[in-house]
Structures are given as C-alpha cells and as structure tokens.
Amino acid sequence: MAGETLIRQMAAGDREAFGSFYDRYASLVYPLIVRIVRDRSDAADVLQDVFWEAWQSAASYDPSRGSPEAWMIMRARARAIDRVRALRRRGETFVAPMDEAVSAAPDVLGGDAAERAEDRGIIQGALGQLSVAQREVIELAYYAGLTQTEIAERLKQPLGTVKTRIRLGLERLREAVRRAP
Amino acid sequence: MSHDVFDTLIAIYAVGALDGNDLAQLEAHLAGGCDRCEAALRESHEALAQLAPAGAGATSPAVPPEVKAELLRRIGEASVRRRAPERRRWVPWVAATAAAMVVSAMLTGGFVASRYEARLGQMARETTRVRDEVRRHEETLLAQLEVYRRVVELLGDPATRVVELRGSGPNAEASGRVVWHERAGGLLIVTKLPPLPAGKAYEAWTLGGPAPRPAGVFTVDASGQGSRKLEPAEGMPAKGFAVSIEPEGGAPEPTGPIVLASR
C-alpha cells in the first residue's frame, strides 16, 4: 500500500495503518537518526518522537508538497539535529566554551577509520557526484546541523564561498537524483 | 532584485543551514509566495531524502524493536483516553491534566495574543495617524502648487501687474501682494497676518469704484500666511486692494478694521 494512503488512514485514527507505516519507514529514517545523534539510546528516543509526531500530524500531510519519504526524512533530520543541538548547548553551558563545543560536534568527516571506509564504500550514490569541498559543506549542514556561519568559521572559509559550495553541491545532487531511475 | 540570490538562499535553507539576515530575507520572500523557490525546496528535500539511506553506512543499524511496541502502547493509551473517558481510574488524571493544559494554554495563548493584539492595535493607530498626516500634507502641497501655478500663469501675461499691500494699525508687520490681471482676475498672497478667532475671517476688497467691492473671504495658517484667488472686477478697473476683518461669511461692504491696503 502506498505511503500516502497509509498516512491518510493514520489521519483517520487507523492504528493498523500506523503499524504498516512504521514498518515501512522506520528502517529508512533510523540510520539517518543514528548518523546524526550517534548514541543509540538517544537515536531510539528520537525515532519514537518522529513517529509519534507523524501519527499526530498525519492529517496535515499534503502530498503535493512532497513524498512521504521526504516528509519523514525531513522530520527525522530536524528532530535529530534538535537533539544534537540540545546536547551541545548543555555541554556549552556547563562544560566547554563555545568554540570547543563547536569543534566537539559530531565530526562527520572524521569518525573512526572503519566508519570512514564504510562511508566511502556506499557513497557511490548521489553524494559521490559532488566535489570533496561540496560534500563537506553539505554534510556539515545536513548531518552535523551547523549553520552557514558556523561552517565558514569551522572551515576558515569566507561565508560567500560556503554559500556557493552549498548551492552548487545541492544543485548537483538534485541533478543526480533526477537522472537516477 | 535578481532571483539568483534566492536560488542560493533556498539551497542553504534546504540543508537547514541558513541563519541571520539571510534567513529573515528568504522567509520574507517565501511569505510573499514564490513558485520557483517552492519547487526548488521540494526537489531539494526529495534529493536529500534519497541520500539518507546511503549516508548511514553499509551495515544499517537495526531498528530497535521496543520503539514500535512503545508507540503502539502510547497510541492505544491516547485513543483510550479519547474514546473511553468514562473509565473511572482515568477520569481524575485526565481531567487534571486537561485542566492544567487548558489553563496553561489560556495563559500562554492569552498572554501572547494580548501582547500581539496590543502591538497590532498600536501599529494600526500609528498607521492611521501617519496616513492622515500624509493626506493633510498632500492637500496643503496641492493647494500651494495651485497657487504657484496660477501666479506663473498670470505673470506670463504682460498685462499682469503686481500690487503691494502694507499692514496698518496693529498689523504693521503684515504685508501682501496682489498679482492682478484686469480680465483674468488675480491672486492675493498675504504674510504675517495673525490667525483670527472663530467666527471671524479676512475679506479682500477691490477698490476703484464708488464703493469697495467684495473680492473673497480667506483665512491664514498658523504662520500667518494665506492666499485667495480674486475674481475680475467687472465694469471697473481695479485701482487698489484692501483686506479687512469681517464676520466669517463675509460682508457686502467693509465693517471691520482694515489690516492691509495698497497705497
């Protein structure tokens, strides 16, 4: 059954539809959440929040504004980033000064060697179409939740350069997805 | 502004990295409705959604099984609360929670709403005041423009002459000029005449016949300036002009003190 139909049934209070919806989309969003928040128990909390929200806001889903996949991914990414930022803020307040906290943010390009090899293996998809510099800024924004200003500071690049890289990177990503079947 | 700026901003917005003035600028732009940006945003989100599973690593982490069970439990609980409020043990708890939620929503909502309503009301009043002021300024400027236009028109004719008026009595400081054309009439411009109390007005007179002829009633502004279009004095050449203080509606012949007169 199409995701769209499931969401409509959820909006009508159909718990079975919710079960099917969960089975279909949990495995899509969970890896993204883990990637962003890292900690598995935090990720489980975020996963629950994301689906609880989906259940409650099913009635406001508008298929003309995006696919169910995009609807769920956006929500998952947003809640995961919220979690990371909250943790970072707590860290800033009680432990680390600001710049240390920023550099302590999940290092998407670093990670341990195994993880990096793993990433290299699978990013032969759309991200592989991007230059290293473009990939870097998009990952810092999308997975680490840094703003353009924070990215510029972190990379020690002018803000204008960061903006252009994000735009070109995203354009290339869109093209790659458009070309894909 | 070229849309190129927004093409960049919308991309940064799509990856959630827009901040500061850029964010405010784009949000204002989106609030105005922009199909191009909406489409770009939609497409970007779809592209990023495609990316998600690839970004997670080859061995995708297994979804923790307890989450689904917990969610189904929450949903069941919520629907029990919704559909079966008669179940005794729920009532006090649900009622207390609901009451607390209502009160807190009312407090927050009411507080926020009243703040914004007050602010909106204040803004509406300011807007009305500014609009009225602008309209008054506009009317004044248009009236002045009309006076200047008429003076310029009259002065273009060689038959036009300018007659000086001098203040008399307590208004020695006051002065005036009449730009006069026998057939077209003229324009009286006065300065430093005191504004008059209610019920009184200045009246202009054309001199030259057996008796002064009424030429029009006018008032002055707070700075003592005023002007009055004068009708041509038919059947007699105007030899001079005068201004007196008269009742508001004007008088057929001068009754009040003369405040300005030509020599």
Q: Using one digit for the tens of pLDDT, what is the confidence trace for B91-113? A: 666 677 777 777 777 667 666 66
Neighbouring residues of A25: CB distance < 8 A, sequence distance ≥ 6: A3, A51, A68, A69, A72
Q: pLDDT at residue B67 above 50?
A: yes
Per residue in A152-170, pLDDT (tens digit) is: 999 999 999 999 999 999 9
What's this model's pTM, rounded to 2 decimal places?
0.53
Residue boundaries of the structural domains of chain A: 1-100, 107-181
Distances (CA, A) of B261 to A160, B31, B230: 73, 64, 15
Q: Do B44 and A170 touch (CB under 8 A)?
A: yes
Quote the minimal CA–CA distance from B103 to chain A in Å: 22
Q: Tell me, yes or no, if B63 comes closer than 8 A to chain A by beta carbon.
A: yes
- Chain B residues whose CB is inside 8 A of the A149 CB are 19-20
- For residue B44, the enclosing domain spans 1-53
Q: pLDDT at residue A118 above 70?
A: no
Hey, which residues 93-112 in chain A have their CB within 8 Å of chain B? none
Task: Categorize the per-residue pLDDT at B41 as very low, low, confident or very high, splitting at 50, 70 and 90.
Answer: very high
ipTM over 0.85: no
Neighbouring residues of B240: CB distance < 8 A, sequence distance ≥ 6: B163, B207, B208, B261, B262, B263
**Architecture of the CATH domain A107-181:** Orthogonal Bundle (1.10)
> Above pLDDT 70, what percent of chain A?
78
Question: In total, how many domains does chain B have?
Answer: 3
Mean of per-residue pLDDT scores for chain B: 82
Helix (H) or strand (E) holding B243, with range, is strand B240-247
Per residue in B147-174, pLDDT (tens digit) is: 788 888 888 888 888 889 998 877 788 8
> What are the phi and psi torsion angles at A101 (to 5°)?
-65, -40
**Architecture of the CATH domain A1-100:** Orthogonal Bundle (1.10)
Q: Is residue B201 part of a domain?
A: yes
Q: Do A149 and B57 touch (CB under 8 A)?
A: no
Higher pLDDT, A44 or A125: A44
Q: Is residue B178 part of a domain?
A: yes
Neighbouring residues of B193: CB distance < 8 A, sequence distance ≥ 6: B167, B171, B174, B176, B202, B220, B224, B226, B243, B259, B260
Mutate to test the interface with A, among B15, B68, B72 (most CBs of A within 10 A): B15
Dihedral angle, C-alpha A18, A21, A26, A27, nearest 10 °: 150
Hey, which residues 32-71 in chain A have their CB within 8 Å of chain B? 32, 34-35, 40, 43-44, 47-48, 51-52, 55, 65-67, 69-70
Do B181 and B254 lie in one domain? The reply is: yes
Q: Is residue B67 part of a domain?
A: no
What is the bridge-based pairing of β-strands B161-167 and B226-230? unpaired
CATH number of the structural domain spanning residue B229? 2.60.40.200
Per residue in B226-262, pLDDT (tens digit) is: 888 888 877 778 888 999 999 988 888 888 888 999 8
Do B175 and B257 lie in one domain? The reply is: yes
Model pLDDT, residue A29: 93
Q: Tell me, yes or no, if A151 comes closer than 8 A to chain B by beta carbon.
A: yes
